[in-house]
Amino acid sequence: MSSYLQRVDREVATTRNQVSAWREEIERIHQRIKGGEERLHHLEITRQTLRSLPEDEATSDTLAHPTSAVEVSTARQDSRGSARPPLTIRPGTLFEPGEPTDLEEGRRRILVVLATAGRALSAREIAAAIGEDVSTPSRVETTRARLKRLARSGQVVEGPIGSFAITTVNSAPARLRAAAKD
């Protein structure tokens, strides 16, 4: 009789281990689902942001058909002390320098530049790319203030300090990730 009890005990232990493994697998699947739902949420935010931008056919046409690249020279280093590669901007993404841009136009240009840059940029780089006169410190500071406002709204993320990038799933602020869970 004791051998039967030992067999049952072994079977119970084996089954418990299997159930535990299944629970862990279910938890991993739940995490993947959660990540997918978060990604969908952020894509919807991106879609809404892009739809809210006024359509500028001249800009979108030149963005679609670049002919040559322009480098915005940056001698600065990133937070780890590594030299940052120069920002390469295609025609149409480098807005013509001129009069200071209004809030909505500046916001649109910033989002276009960050969406096409492929890396975090400094406020000075962004100001140059959107056509602001970077020799005037107030224009760079205006761009920085716009970037901070976009960061508070969740469309842009700041990090490391002074570098800005378009919001992605992994860089979204905690409040947006929390909203995605609801």
- Tens digits of per-residue pLDDT, 22-67? 999 999 999 999 988 888 888 788 777 777 776 654 444 444 444 3
pTM across the whole model = 0.46
Chain segment 124-147, per-residue pLDDT in tens? 988 888 888 888 888 889 889 999
Q: Residue 93's pLDDT is what?
A: 42
Q: Residue 159's pLDDT is what?
A: 80
| Residue at 151 is within a domain | yes
Q: Residue 131's pLDDT is what?
A: 84
| Residue at 22 is within a domain | no
Q: Residue 6's pLDDT is what?
A: 92
User: SS3 of 55, please?
Assistant: coil
Q: How many domains does the chain have?
A: 1
Query: Residue 180 corresponds to which amino acid?
Result: A
Distances from the Cα of 58 to the Cα of 55, 61, 81, 86, 112, angstroms: 9, 5, 38, 25, 13
| Residue at 72 is within a domain | yes
| Residue at 63 is within a domain | yes
Residue pair 130/95 in contact by the 8 Å Cβ criterion: yes
Q: Give the structural domain span for 136.
A: 57-166
| Residue at 157 is within a domain | yes
Bigger pLDDT: 82 vs 139: 139
